[in-house]
Amino acid sequence: MYILFKRELSNFLNSLTGYIVIIVFLLINGLFLWVFPEEFNILDYGYANMDGLFMLGPFVFLFLIPAITMRSFAEEKKTGTIEILLTKPITDTQIILSKYFAGLCLVVFSLLPTLVYFFSVYQLGLPKGNLDAGGIWGSYIGLIFLGASFVAIGIFSSSITNNQIVSFIVSVFLCGFAYLGFELIYSFDIFGNIDLFIKSLGINAHYASMSRGVIDTRDIIYFLSVIIIFLLLTKISLQSRNWGKFYKN
């Protein structure tokens, strides 16, 4: 599994995809946080915080992570290398996890340079260091969990098609619905007593909770559940290739 993980990660880093993702993530956030005179601009806002990064981050990930994962299985299927890979002495679970962790590493790599923003805001505080460090670190943890969930959804989307564009579109839709869809349903206020339960099914509710600096085990369990569910769905999708052979026989 480790060898396959290294291969997947090197494929990202030896191609433009990995670097484009990291550069685009940093460029978009950097422009909105430091250059554009918008509500997210740290210098214009006048407060030593990084709320803009954690408000923009999920929406940037919403498109960048599907771009990372769309090749995971779709390209393997299209080129036929998936059959070769599946004949190797490695389980479906190991294949899925190696691709998943390679994508997750790329997400973490894209976040690491933003620590420069944290250092800058720390220095700009009056007095220096006057910022909500707990909330910032909680938001980072929440953003990593959110990215991890999006990667799992993207891996699943890639496993159900051999077309990268279809994989990208499906992944964006599923990630978008998981992040904002339940909030939208909740806003209609049509389910009465279970409205709050419906809201709690969405990623945004748990991400917002972590952004307040409170690391609740319920939020962690939620994110881990989303990741596990979509990885299991990916495994079912891969195993379905054998069902067709079974019915043919």
DSSP 134-203: HHHHHHHHHHHHHHHHHHHHHHHHHHT-S-HHHHHHHHHHHHHIIIIIHHHHHHT--SGGGHHHHHHTSH
- Among 12-16, 46-50, 244-248, name the most confident range: 12-16
pLDDT at 2 over 50: yes
Higher pLDDT, residue 185 or 82: 185
For residues 224-242, average pLDDT: 89
C-alpha to C-alpha distance for 145 and 183, rounded to whole angstroms: 18
User: Within its chain, how far is the Cα of 66 from the centroid?
Assistant: 8
pLDDT at 153 over 90: yes
- Among 85-99, 198-212, 223-237, name the most confident range: 223-237
For residues 18-39, average pLDDT: 81
Q: Classify residue 213 as left (phi > 0), alpha (psi -120 to 50) or beta.
A: left
**Domain ranges, ordered by start, for the chain:** 2-240
pLDDT score at 124 = 76
